[in-house]
């Protein structure tokens, strides 16, 4: 029978050999699950080059992989910028993509991603004075009035077209409050893989510690374009807004979309959101579509001021459409794979490996070590039995 055979073999071999074999098995499993560890044993001085290489988008300066014949990236003055394919998420080029900077009203993209799904567009609400309290001085306002009744869709037009902080305050109140909304926005950012963003004021108003990055804002813009309501609102150039005496006209403050103020509209523009504060300077997330390809561009704080944010976004869009399909990406806007797997038992849940990191799950390692420990215990028990029989 199988069991007696195992017992006989175990008794014959010294328990020291069994222990040694188990230890070697454990080491072997660890070396298989972590190639870098095996490399460290072979060459403890020189670490793996791949392990020490910093991802391109986390490096300073311009990151791009130009092929022969592809035009050079245009020179712009923005402190941070990024160009990406809005469909695939491939980042075509970037400059200081993860640099933390104040986002101004471009943070409203994250606000919309978070709150849009929670409030029915056709719901009506009468605004209270409390909901309009605490709006920062100098904020952009669409003209929300205490005592007037608005549809939720009207308030969203106020957010997207006129960057109305008053509309944001009312929507945040309907969503559970200012602090609750900020926490939810933070969670939404993390779920999208946007790790540079810290939310303090959901309307994007300058606040201590509030930052985002060109990378994160591009993530929000791309995600928004895949939301039907978001995409419709951010592409609306003009509309009406309820007032004390009927309604009045409002226009989108994104000049690349409307062509207002002497800034030519960009052909094929489909949104997304602009912003300005004294602390952030001008910021812009812009997306356009040409010949079946959609690009999203983020520009943060051009040093020339004025309307330079639109012209720098224009030049980056032009370059992106010329270069797309002819260069290798330098990164991706897609979120990383989930760190936890719900299919695994809670006792062995572990980080899922990336394609190049060489790690198996901690559960696998723990299982191997546990197996080795069990074998050691079995050997000791058998040795004890052998000793009593002699």
Q: Does the active-site annotation cover 294?
A: no
Q: What is the DSSP string of 155-187?
A: HHHHHHTT--HHHHHHHHHHTT-HHHHHHHHHH
How far from chain centre, in Å, is Cα 261?
33
Active site (annotated) includes residue 157: no
Compute the distance between CA of residue 390 and CA of residue 379 in angstroms, rounded to an integer.
17
Reduced to 3 states (helix: H, G, I; strand: E, B; else coil), residue 267 is coil
Measured between alpha carbons, how far is 278 from 297 in angstroms, rounded to an integer? Answer: 22
Phi, psi of 174 (to 5 degrees): -65, -25
Q: How far is CA 341 from CA 182, 188, 205, 351, in A?
A: 27, 19, 37, 8
Which of 80, 108, 139, 212 is labelled catalytic? 108
Distance between CA atoms of residues 231 and 225, nearest Å: 5
Cα(95)–Cα(298) distance, integer angstroms:
10
User: Which 8-state DSSP code applies to residue 72?
Assistant: P
Q: Would you state the torsion angle of the CA atoms of residues 212, 218, 224, 230, taken in this order, to the nearest 10 degrees?
A: 80
Angle, CA of 166, 169 and 171, to the nearest 5°: 110
To the query of whether residue 315 is one of the catalytic residues in this protein, the response is no
CB 123 within 8 A of CB 151: yes
Q: Which of 80, 105, 139, 173 is catalytic?
A: 105
Q: Which of 139, 140, 153, 163 is catalytic?
A: 163
Residue 67 DSSP code = P
CB 255 within 8 A of CB 263: yes
Residues taking part in catalysis: 105, 108, 163
């Amino acid at each position: 029978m199988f069991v007696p055979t195992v017992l006989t073999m175990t008794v014959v071999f010294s328990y020291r050999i069994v222990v040694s074999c188990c230890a070697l098995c454990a080491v072997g499993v660890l070396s298989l699950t972590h190639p870098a560890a095996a490399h460290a044993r072979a060459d403890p001085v020189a670490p793996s080059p791949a392990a020490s290489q910093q991802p391109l988008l986390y490096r300073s300066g311009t990151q791009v992989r130009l092929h022969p014949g592809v035009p050079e990236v245009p020179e712009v003055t923005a402190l941070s910028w990024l160009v990406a394919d809005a469909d695939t998420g491939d980042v075509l080029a970037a400059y200081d993509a993860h640099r933390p900077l104040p986002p101004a009203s471009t943070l409203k993209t994250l606000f919309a991603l978070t709150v849009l799904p929670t409030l029915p567009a056709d719901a009506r609400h009468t605004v209270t004075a409390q909901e309009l309290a605490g709006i920062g001085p100098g904020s952009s306002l669409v003209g929300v009035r205490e005592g007037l009744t608005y549809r939720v869709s009207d308030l969203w037009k106020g957010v997207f077209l006129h960057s109305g902080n008053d509309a944001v305050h009312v929507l945040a109140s309907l969503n559970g409050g200012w602090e609750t909304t900020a926490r939810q926005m933070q969670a939404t950012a993390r779920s999208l893989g946007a790790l540079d963003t810290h939310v303090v004021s959901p309307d994007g108003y300058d606040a201590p510690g509030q930052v985002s990055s060109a990378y994160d804002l591009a993530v929000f813009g791309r995600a928004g374009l895949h939301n039907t309501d978001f995409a419709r609102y951010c592409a609306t150039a003009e509309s009406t807004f309820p007032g004390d005496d009927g309604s009045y006209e409002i226009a989108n403050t994104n000049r690349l979309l409307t062509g207002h103020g002497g800034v030519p509209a960009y052909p094929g523009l489909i949104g997304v959101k602009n912003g300005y504060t004294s602390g952030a300077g001008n910021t812009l997330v812009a997306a356009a579509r040409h010949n079946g390809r959609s690009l999203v561009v983020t520009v943060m704080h051009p040093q020339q001021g004025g309307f330079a944010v639109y012209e720098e976004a224009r030049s980056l869009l032009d370059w992106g459409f010329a270069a797309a399909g002819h260069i290798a990406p330098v990164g991706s806007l897609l979120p990383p794979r989930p760190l936890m797997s719900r299919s695994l038992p809670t006792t062995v849940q572990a980080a899922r490996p990336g394609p190049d990191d060489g790690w198996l799950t901690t559960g696998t390692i723990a299982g191997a070590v546990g197996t080795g420990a069990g074998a050691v215990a079995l050997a000791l028990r058998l040795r004890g039995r052998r000793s009593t029989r002699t």
